[in-house]
Amino acid sequence: MDDQEQDAISWPPRGTCPVCGSEEVFHDMLGMPTPEVFYSAPPWVSFGCTPTYRDRHCGACGHEWCLPERDAPEDDDPESDDPGSEEC
Ligand SMILES: [Zn+2]
């Protein structure tokens, strides 16, 4: 397993709106990424510290939805105090 950092950060496909079929789909990411991720992100990816109950929203019709698969690695081990997992 290589632990080296990747130059190109691969983003998931932008996808289309399930309601209107528009490709004006925006990805809403919770939390601030690393600067590399932030600056390499496509313009249709937005980052924020405000909890939102959506993962995507449509710029055409305003529809908001969540991805069916969602990783929730929180509360995995309440004993370990990970200093790197600071919420902003
Ligand atoms: Zn739409």
List pLDDT tens digits, range 33-53.
Answer: 899 889 889 999 988 877 767
- Going from the Cα of 19 to the center of ligand 1, the distance in angstroms, rounded, reads 5
How many angstroms separate the CA atoms of 57 and 18, rounded? Answer: 10
| pTM: predicted TM-score of the whole model, two decimal places | 0.64
- Going from the Cα of 24 to the center of ligand 1, the distance in angstroms, rounded, reads 7
- Going from the Cα of 42 to the center of ligand 1, the distance in angstroms, rounded, reads 19
- Going from the Cα of 2 to the center of ligand 1, the distance in angstroms, rounded, reads 39
- Going from the Cα of 6 to the center of ligand 1, the distance in angstroms, rounded, reads 33
DSSP class of residue 47? E
Confidence at residue 86, expressed as pLDDT on a 0 to 100 scale: 54
Contact residues for 85 (Cβ-Cβ < 8 A; gap 6+): none
Residues 44 and 14 sit within 8 Å (Cβ to Cβ): yes
